Structure 1
Amino acid sequence: MMPNLTDKIGDWNPQLLREIKGRLKFFNVAIAVATSLLLQLVVFLYQLRDLPDDRYSLTGAYCPLRQVYELQQKQVYQESNQSTINEFSDFLLNNFCPQNQINWQLWWRDHWEYIFLTFSVIFVFTLLVAGTYLLINDLAKEESRGTLNFIRLSPQSETSILTGKLLGVPSLVYLVILVAVPLHLLAGRSAKIAFSYIFSYYAILIASCIFFYSAALLFGLVTRWFSGFQPWLGSGAVLFFLFTTILIASSYSNSLNNSTAWLRLFAPWDAINYLFPNLLRVHHSSHLKNLEFFYLPLGKNIVSVVGFYLLNFGLCSYGILQALKRCFRNPQASIISKKQSYLLVAFCQVMMWGFSLQSWRNNSRFNEFVAQNLVFLALYNLVLLLSLIAVLSPHRQDVQDWARYRHQEVSSRKSVWQDLIWAEKSPAIVAIAINLTIVAIPWLPWIALTSVFDTEYSENFDRLKVLLAVALSISIIMIYATIAQLIVLQKTPKRSFWAIGTIGTVTLLPPIILEFLGISLWEHPTIWLFSSFPWAAIQYSGATTIFMAFLAQLSVLALLNFQLTKQVRLAGESATKALLAGR
């Protein structure tokens, strides 16, 4: 039977069979099973430490006499007679709840619930952190041994190879969890938790594993320069993310109806707390019960909550899979294409704005919406666009091939603009401009409809200044994109690092220097208009000043693009022509 199963696995996915054969050996399996059983024993015994004994307090949670003695204790304390209080305290200390009076049914139910919730948390950390480490470490080892290139040359499809990695590399982690699942199910049923809720938890956990494991593979493929530090960096980032989000989820005041909510959906804690309210011991209802997306009440029932989680994980995992397919066969290829970047930016805008609009209504004031969400939206989009600049900007050889191809007019049917929009080897300036347009589109209706939704706030709301702020932000990002493209066109070594370092410096250093020198944005707003965060100084600047700053940035952008066009034209010249021209 075992050879037949092995043959079937090998026929379905040869990469999975290779991974399983290398890991599911007798000694490894025995260690994994023993570890899981030992963990279950420790958790079970640890919960027994609170087992009520013959010295269980009369005011304990499982003593039916608790209410009577608590009422007497309250009456004694109200009398404010110290001797009576001392006598009653001595009585409680020297008398204990009879064993036949203890509510054992309630104690065992809570005991099983503690076990169930403990394993629910352990499963998340074990699968996501350990699985991420193993996947990145496996890719690093394959790269160092040279076997990864051998796998790339195999006739298997990218999907088959990556699926084999996802299922096979963390197989021992899966085994540890599977051995503990029966106790987890038993604890859940003994704690009167419905199977529908338990299996909803499993569905979200599996979806989160697919997402994080896919991201781990992509991280391992695109960060080869970290060498042996890759697994620790990747798994450490996941561990930090899980710890941070569990602290946020346990916070009483942190609502999910804001622009940061989408990031929290990538951690399963809010969903688990929604399914099992006693998980975080926060003494308040789950934030997911009030979850809305474009005013759709998703948190009203379990189906919509779980379905939205699975949809979010599914779409994001699919996007990562497309990036994996591009990078796996050709490690030098960009993570995403220009077309995919447009879809990515549009998807991010829908998700971020979908969670942001509710706070407008809930706060009943438009300025509250501005203060809590628009700043975060601007920061998220700044990070997204700077990342796209790094990803989409082609290197010198690619631009040279594209420019020479255009110069020779091999395909006269395609216009230059079509190439600039879609072709991967063409400069990324037009693609960045399109992505900036996608980012700006949701802001325009907001600016136009301000007076409709908040007339009191709109009296002090200058639409022209806000429109100019959007234009300033677009122009400064375009300047950064042009600078990055100019740097990667140079012949200097390590051009990518120079480009990333330069953009990082011009983005972060000016505001830091201004703050260090004490040049505040309310006293010197004109200087801040030329920084990476021009919208911070908008309210302290006049419309004329903002417009002049915008014209100055357009002039800089025009000069930079003139230089870029010249560099691309020179790169596209043939070697013979360059030699004859003395270049």
Structure 2
Amino acid sequence: MMLNLIDKIGDWNPQLLRELKGRLKFFNVAIAFATSLLLQLVVFLYQLREFPGDRYSLTATYCNLRQVYQQQQNRLYQQSNQSIIDEFNNFLSNNFCPQNEINWQLWWRDHWEYIFLSFTVIFGFTLLVAGTYLLINDLAKEETRGTLNFIRLSPQSETSILTGKLLGVPSLIYLAVLVAVPLHLWAGLSAQIAFSYILSYYAILIASCIFFYSAALLFGLVSRWFSGFQPWLGSGAVFLFLLITFQITSSDHSGTSYNSTAWLRLFAPWDVTNYLFANLFHLNKGSNLKNLQFFYLPLGRGFVSVVGFHLLNFGLCSYGILQALKRCFRNPQASIISKKQSYLLVAFCQLITWGFALQNGNNNNTWDEQVAGNFVLLVVYNLVLILSLIAVLSPHRQDVQDWARYRHQGVSNYKSVWQDLIWSEKSPALVAIAINLTIAAIPWLVWLVLTSVVDANNGRTEIVNEIDRFKVLLTIALSISLMMIYATIAQLILLLKTPKRFFWAIGTLGTVMFLPPMILEFIGISSWKYSTVWMFTTFPWTAVEYAGVTTVFMALLADLSVLALLNFQLIRQVRLAGESATKALLAGR
């Protein structure tokens, strides 16, 4: 029977069979079983440390006489007679709750609940951190041994190979968790937790494993330069993320759900776990997810909407990572995403971040106040997103050279140069970055338009008058021009013949973007005092309030002039790169 099962696994997914054969050895399986059983025993015995014995206090939680003695104690404290209070406390210390007055049913229910919640947290950390480490470490070993290239040449599809990796590499972790699942399930049912809630937790945990494991595989494929440090870096980042979100959820910051950081917290299982099991962090206020909104839609009102939105978020993000994995697996030199996919990614990120930014908080904030409260977060999200796309989409010298040299021979799939610049992966990324910046700017423009409509309909003084509105529009254009300048600089550096061009581009952009603001702050040139100077930095928004319309307009003209000069140089470099070797030799280059 076992041989038939193995044959079926091999027929369905040969890569999975390869992974299982290498890991499910008798000694490894025995260690996984023993570790899981030992952990279950430790958790069970640890929860028995407060077992109500013969010396159980009369005022302890599970004593049925607790309320009577506490009321008597409160009355004595109100009388302020110290001698009587001391005598009563002495009586409590020398007398204990009778065994027949202990609420054993409630004690066992809480005991099983503690066990259930303990394993709930242990499962999350173990699966996500240990599984991430194993997957990245496996890819690093395959790369070192050279066997990863043989797998790439396999006739199996990318989906089949990656599924085999996801299911096979952490198989011992799965085994250890599965051995503990019966106790976890029994403890949850004994604690009178709804079976549907327990199944929902398992679904969320499986979805989060798929997301983090897919991200781990992608990280392992694109970060080969870290060598042996890859597993520790990837799993350490996951552990730090889980730990921070765990602390945030346990400390119950009630305002966190009312801004766009709520999306980041959806990737950790703690918020939804606290929503399903209210006693996870012993918080009296309940979960923040009860007040969660998305474009004012009350997602947190119902159990189905909360769990469904989490699963939808994990599903969409995992699908996006899977597409990136398919691109990078067969061709390690390919970019993570294509230009077409980048447009969808930016649109998706704008939809999600703005959806969580527009929520009615505890104070029923207005439209403008909600955007103002999320302003810094939205700017930072977009800044990180666009810089990442610049790094991913900008092609290197050889790709640009091939595109410029052979495009006119009909090698390209597109008829015009503009179509090439928009869709082709080997063409310079300036037009694609401009399109992505436009997509990112659309919500801000919609906000400006709708703000005036809302203000007019409410019949109150406009928060943003016409002059300020024009200034904001100019500042948006200024930010776009700055990002285009950075994208052009990065593309110019990637066209050089020097080695390590990618690291040179990162270093140059980092210096250009962050060194000037740091120097200005260090020497005391603040944005409110010298707004004109700050208009030419990466953060012009900090000086908009103190700058005039003319200042912003002149800064925009200066940036556009610099952008034009850089693009003229870029066009010249692309043409030179596209020349044939014979033509370059005859021209003396």
Q: What's the TM-score bracket when you normalise by the shorter of the two chains?
A: over 0.9
User: Following TM superposition, by how much is the alpha carbon of 1:414 offset from its aligned partner in structure 2, in angstroms?
Assistant: 0.6
Which residue is equivalent to 1:431?
432
User: Following TM superposition, by how much is the alpha carbon of 1:406 offset from its aligned partner in structure 2, in angstroms?
Assistant: 2.4
Pair 448,413 (structure 1): closer, same or farther in 2 beyond 3 Å = closer
What is the 5 A alignment of 1:384-395? 384-395=385-396
SS at match of 2:294: coil
Which residue is equivalent to 1:141?
141
CA distance in 1, matches of 2:31, 2:111: 28
User: Following TM superposition, by how much is the alpha carbon of 1:364 offset from its aligned partner in structure 2, in angstroms?
Assistant: 2.5
Give me the identity figure in percent. Answer: 78
Of the candidates 537, 540, 546, which is equivalent to residue 546 of structure 2? 540
User: Following TM superposition, by how much is the alpha carbon of 1:535 offset from its aligned partner in structure 2, in angstroms?
Assistant: 0.8
**Paired letter, 2:33:** V
Does residue 74 of structure 1 match 2:74?
yes
Pair 112,416 (structure 1): closer, same or farther in 2 beyond 3 Å = same
Which residue is equivalent to 1:18?
18
Structure 2, unaligned runs of 5 or more: none
**Paired letter, 2:485:** I
Normalised to the residue count of structure 2, the TM-score between the two structures is 0.97
SS at match of 2:335: coil
Does residue 474 of structure 1 match 2:480?
yes
Contact 2:58 2:95 in 1 (8 A): yes
SS at match of 2:135: helix
Contact 1:258 1:359 in 2 (8 A): no
Which residue is equivalent to 2:102?
102
Contact 2:258 2:361 in 1 (8 A): no
User: Following TM superposition, by how much is the alpha carbon of 1:503 offset from its aligned partner in structure 2, in angstroms?
Assistant: 1.1
Cα-to-partner distance string for 1:382-429 (whole Å, 9 max, x where unaligned) = 000000000000000000000011244556961000000000000000
Higher mean C-alpha deviation, range 83-92 or range 267-276: 83-92
Of the candidates 469, 485, 493, which is equivalent to residue 491 of structure 2? 485
Contact 1:478 1:557 in 2 (8 A): yes
Pair 323,356 (structure 1): closer, same or farther in 2 beyond 3 Å = same
Which residue is equivalent to 1:31?
31
Which residue is equivalent to 1:291?
292
Cα-to-partner distance string for 1:228-272 (whole Å, 9 max, x where unaligned) = 000000000000000111111122333312111111100011000
CA distance in 2, matches of 1:504, 1:96: 68
**Paired letter, 2:332:** P
What is the 5 A alignment of 1:213-362? 213-250=213-250, 251-359=252-360, 362=363
Contact 1:136 1:219 in 2 (8 A): yes
Pair 364,254 (structure 1): closer, same or farther in 2 beyond 3 Å = closer
**Paired letter, 1:235:** S
Contact 1:139 1:217 in 2 (8 A): yes
Higher mean C-alpha deviation, range 78-87 or range 488-497: 78-87
Cα-to-partner distance string for 1:263-294 (whole Å, 9 max, x where unaligned) = 11000110000000100122211111111111
User: Following TM superposition, by how much is the alpha carbon of 1:460 offset from its aligned partner in structure 2, in angstroms?
Assistant: 6.1
Which residue is equivalent to 1:504?
510
User: Following TM superposition, by how much is the alpha carbon of 1:543 offset from its aligned partner in structure 2, in angstroms?
Assistant: 0.6
CA distance in 2, matches of 1:192, 1:81: 45
Pair 177,488 (structure 1): closer, same or farther in 2 beyond 3 Å = same
**Paired letter, 1:166:** L
Higher mean C-alpha deviation, range 379-388 or range 510-519: 510-519
User: Following TM superposition, by how much is the alpha carbon of 1:37 offset from its aligned partner in structure 2, in angstroms?
Assistant: 0.2
Does residue 458 of structure 1 match 2:463?
yes
What is the 5 A alignment of 1:379-418? 379-408=380-409, 414-418=415-419
**Paired letter, 1:147:** T
Which residue is equivalent to 2:574?
568
CA distance in 1, matches of 2:391, 2:78: 70
Contact 2:254 2:288 in 1 (8 A): no
Of the candidates 518, 525, 535, which is equivalent to residue 519 of structure 1? 525
Does residue 160 of structure 1 match 2:166?
no
**Displaced runs of 4 or more, over 3 A:** 359-363, 365-368, 407-413, 451-457
User: Following TM superposition, by how much is the alpha carbon of 1:15 offset from its aligned partner in structure 2, in angstroms?
Assistant: 0.3
User: Following TM superposition, by how much is the alpha carbon of 1:95 offset from its aligned partner in structure 2, in angstroms?
Assistant: 1.2
Which residue is equivalent to 2:49?
49
**Paired letter, 2:46:** Y
Contact 1:407 1:572 in 2 (8 A): no
**Paired letter, 1:124:** G
**Paired letter, 1:582:** G
CA distance in 1, matches of 2:550, 2:359: 34
Pair 428,473 (structure 1): closer, same or farther in 2 beyond 3 Å = same
CA distance in 2, matches of 1:532, 1:410: 39
What is the 5 A alignment of 1:152-191? 152-191=152-191
User: Following TM superposition, by how much is the alpha carbon of 1:368 offset from its aligned partner in structure 2, in angstroms?
Assistant: 3.3
Higher mean C-alpha deviation, range 369-378 or range 231-240: 369-378
User: Following TM superposition, by how much is the alpha carbon of 1:134 offset from its aligned partner in structure 2, in angstroms?
Assistant: 0.1
Cα-to-partner distance string for 1:295-322 (whole Å, 9 max, x where unaligned) = 1111111111111111100000000000
SS at match of 1:177: helix
Contact 2:531 2:547 in 1 (8 A): yes
User: Following TM superposition, by how much is the alpha carbon of 1:366 offset from its aligned partner in structure 2, in angstroms?
Assistant: 4.6
Contact 1:360 1:368 in 2 (8 A): no
CA distance in 2, matches of 1:156, 1:258: 44
What is the 5 A alignment of 1:434-445? 434-445=435-446
**Paired letter, 1:301:** G
Cα-to-partner distance string for 1:458-483 (whole Å, 9 max, x where unaligned) = 15681111111111110100000000
**Paired letter, 1:385:** I
SS at match of 1:442: helix
CA distance in 1, matches of 2:227, 2:558: 44
Which residue is equivalent to 2:65?
65
CA distance in 2, matches of 1:489, 1:32: 52
Cα-to-partner distance string for 1:110-164 (whole Å, 9 max, x where unaligned) = 0000000000000000000000000000000000000000110111110000000
Structure 1, unaligned runs of 5 or more: none
User: Following TM superposition, by how much is the alpha carbon of 1:563 offset from its aligned partner in structure 2, in angstroms?
Assistant: 0.3
Contact 1:363 1:369 in 2 (8 A): no
Which residue is equivalent to 2:420?
419
User: Following TM superposition, by how much is the alpha carbon of 1:369 offset from its aligned partner in structure 2, in angstroms?
Assistant: 2.1
**Paired letter, 1:211:** F
Pair 120,413 (structure 1): closer, same or farther in 2 beyond 3 Å = closer
**Paired letter, 1:32:** A
Cα-to-partner distance string for 1:55-74 (whole Å, 9 max, x where unaligned) = 11111110111111111111
CA distance in 2, matches of 1:237, 1:412: 40
Pair 39,363 (structure 1): closer, same or farther in 2 beyond 3 Å = same
SS at match of 1:256: helix
CA distance in 1, matches of 2:368, 2:442: 20
Contact 2:358 2:371 in 1 (8 A): no
What is the 5 A alignment of 1:548-563? 548-563=554-569
Contact 2:335 2:393 in 1 (8 A): yes
Cα-to-partner distance string for 1:484-525 (whole Å, 9 max, x where unaligned) = 000000000000000111112212211111111111100001
Which residue is equivalent to 2:128?
128
Which residue is equivalent to 2:209?
209
